[in-house]
Amino acid sequence: MLSFLPLAWLRATLKLGKSLSLRSMPTHRVFWSEYFDEMIATLRKEDYLSRIQACIDFDRNYRFACDDLLHWPGSMLIIEADNDSYVPPEEREALKALYPRAQVHTFHGTSHFAWATESEAFLQAIERFLEERT
């Protein structure tokens, strides 16, 4: 159905979604708003439809399973936020149960956008995880 919408309508829908999403972002909102406005303004209709199709394909065809990494010798880091409105607590718990060997880093008092609002701490958590593996 989206393929029949004019590009201007797709962009307007994305801008509305961006505005709703950024409401829960307490810091750096202006930067990310301008960043997403630039991205929305430069992508073509084919770009949007391709991204949507990739998400639909992933959702329909891929299921995580506990055996996925059974014989993989590597390590895994799950980064979560305790105030994530996009990933409910029961889904976060299910992910941790699915990968019980994973190290978990939880951002407290932040939202799904911890990667943007707590970018320094976010990168430090990844760096610490990688340094522990070398």
- pLDDT, mean of residues 101-119: 89
pLDDT reported for residue 38: 94
For the stretch 14-67, pLDDT in tens is 999 888 888 877 678 888 899 999 999 999 999 989 998 999 999 899 888 888
* β-bridge partners, 107: 81
Helix 7-22 and helix 29-42, axial crossing angle in degrees, nearest 10: 170
For residue 129, pLDDT over 90 is answered with yes
How is the chain split into domains, by residue range? Answer: 2-61, 77-132
What is the rounded CA–CA span in Å between residue 131 and residue 127?
A: 6
Query: What confidence score (pLDDT) does residue 46 get?
Result: 93
pTM of the model: 0.71
